[in-house]
Structure 1
């Protein structure tokens, strides 16, 4: 229980139990992709990438960050003012990416998105190697990118589109518009708020944190900012909803429906 002993609402308690179940599950081998399922067909088309592995990795990342927030609050019993929101930001991004990968009914589109994700990984890896001065081993970045371009052509996809711009915000906009029927910008709002905390933006911290005024001299005010347990738990709950959607899509795509 957090130090301020704020009661945990029933819906949040259910989310916390779900996070614990996921954390245990992700420490085991990933679920079996059944023969004849959508993901089985996807993986057969791009066996060197495996759409199923990419999607489950996103889900596991979301769970890891959600569990870290839970551990801080209920095991360490520490409520940091800023850090939990950075963890939730990572969970929102990962859950949103899993949904973005899995939601399309078209196999070609799921493969396109998997290739695009793979290109982003290779591209960022090359940037890191260039900056760090480390020597790459195995295939070169150019060879890996060419493989992705070849796969795109093989599946009648535009190679230049595969190697185009990557946008987390565009993915989350897709989640809101397609998966949540455009009723609210839940994923985008969560991400924007948590990004504000991650980058130390005053609009986020002053807007959501509780303030205690210590002193004021003229226009200079000394204040203490502290996290609201209620706000944090609600944001944890909403991020869990996104992750639940990602897991549900993964289970639908990996199982064979007769």
Structure 2
């Protein structure tokens, strides 16, 4: 498959250019945070975590998964039926998380979300260590969690809320409320359909993939499922637009407007 063999809609062409540019930037220095900017003030409040680093890491994760889809389609020239949607799901989650971190105008809320992300990271890391039977190096999870709780208390944030439930769906709901204003398709819908692919759910695969019937005996139908290039490229464009908003917010927060 190549650009010549598969029609690429204008929005997808623009998305591919952005993805390639972002991927090239990923090997360079992280854009610096300007003194006097929103993120400069955020980072000063939580210097051991840094809101700017957390947000840019999320954006970078989104770019990596987007570039993997681009590489599959236009470098490896492979049209997998399911795998690209799992990659897009990861990109939607990462871009949505970056927007969730950067979107609030309140510094205290941005810090709260950064602390919540840090707690989730420590908690899930400890869960893995327990399951794998390994002993993490460095400070214990208990010590790190207490540091997060202390930071929350210092900034007037409820530590129990910071160390509470984590929900990707709630993050994406926030993204839709911030960006879409009731318009479709929503980040939640995009994530849901990609999650359906990631978990092998028939409602997603049968609803989105192209079907070729091989045989039918009574109610039993043998079909071949294949990905639609048009659908996949449109979803790639939508996920790229979400990532572009994450990058826009990062630029807005890192530049001083004084």
Same fold (TM over 0.5): yes
Alignment of 1:1-258 (within 5 A): 1-2=1-2, 5-184=5-184, 186-258=186-258
The alpha carbon displacement at 1:2 in A equals: 4.4
Secondary structure at the counterpart of residue 109 of structure 1: helix
Cα distance change of structure 1 residues 166 and 185 upon mapping to structure 2, 3 Å threshold: farther
Distance 2:197 2:153 in 1: 41
Secondary structure at the counterpart of residue 134 of structure 1: coil
* TM-superposition CA deviations, 1:183-221 (whole Å, max 9, x none): 335100100000000000000000000000111112111
Distance 2:23 2:197 in 1: 25
- RMSD of Structure 2 on Structure 1 (CA): 1.1
Distance 2:4 2:86 in 1: 21
**Structure 1: 4+ residue segments shifted above 6 A:** none
Secondary structure at the counterpart of residue 77 of structure 1: coil
The alpha carbon displacement at 1:6 in A equals: 2.5
Unaligned runs of 5+ in 1: none
Secondary structure at the counterpart of residue 256 of structure 1: coil
Distance 1:39 1:177 in 2: 22
The alpha carbon displacement at 1:12 in A equals: 1.1
Distance 1:14 1:238 in 2: 11
Distance 1:63 1:81 in 2: 21
Secondary structure at the counterpart of residue 223 of structure 1: strand
The alpha carbon displacement at 1:120 in A equals: 0.3
Alignment TM-score, normalising by the size of structure 2: 0.98
Query: How many aligned residue pairs are there?
Result: 258
Unaligned runs of 5+ in 2: none
Distance 1:194 1:224 in 2: 20
